[in-house]
Amino acid sequence: MRSIISLIISFLCLALSAQAQFQFFEQMFQGGGHGHAQAQPQNVASDSDWYQRTYNEAHCTNYLCPGTLSCVHFPHHCPCAWPSNEDKIELGEGSAVCASKGGYKAGEMARKVELARKGLL
């Protein structure tokens, strides 16, 4: 009788251990719903639909900058998208361009643009 009880207890311990192990793997590979697994962000689509929707839904009574979706009074007031990496140069006639900073000195990119406009670069 004693061996039957110990056999039943051993079987129950083994069954509970196996169940706990399977729950662990289920949580690990399927998220488990306990907040341990975080959803990975999805890549944006490879077409321009998101940009076009955002552009069309933006409200601006003046000029909506196409590169940054900023609302400004004039097109040449549009900010650069990456101001820490780009300099903005106004070209005249109300137009401006943003380009990578051209060197170690402030205004280096503007100097190069001006040399290019004069045909010297």
Tell me the CA distances in angstroms from 116 to 5, 39, 51, 110, 113, one per residue in order: 94, 49, 33, 10, 5
Nearest to 94 by CA among 67, 61, 117, 72: 72
Written as six digits, the tokens of 112 are: 């190069």
Whole-number Å distance between alpha carbons of 47 and 36: 33
What is the pTM (predicted TM-score) of this model?
Answer: 0.56
Whole-number Å distance between alpha carbons of 111 and 116: 9
| Percent of the chain surpassing pLDDT 90 | 28
- Could you read off the pLDDT of 41-55 as tens digits, one per residue? 988 888 899 999 999
Residue 60, pLDDT above cutoff 80: yes
Residue 109, pLDDT above cutoff 70: yes
Name the range with the highest mean pLDDT among 9-13, 43-47, 70-74, 97-101. 70-74
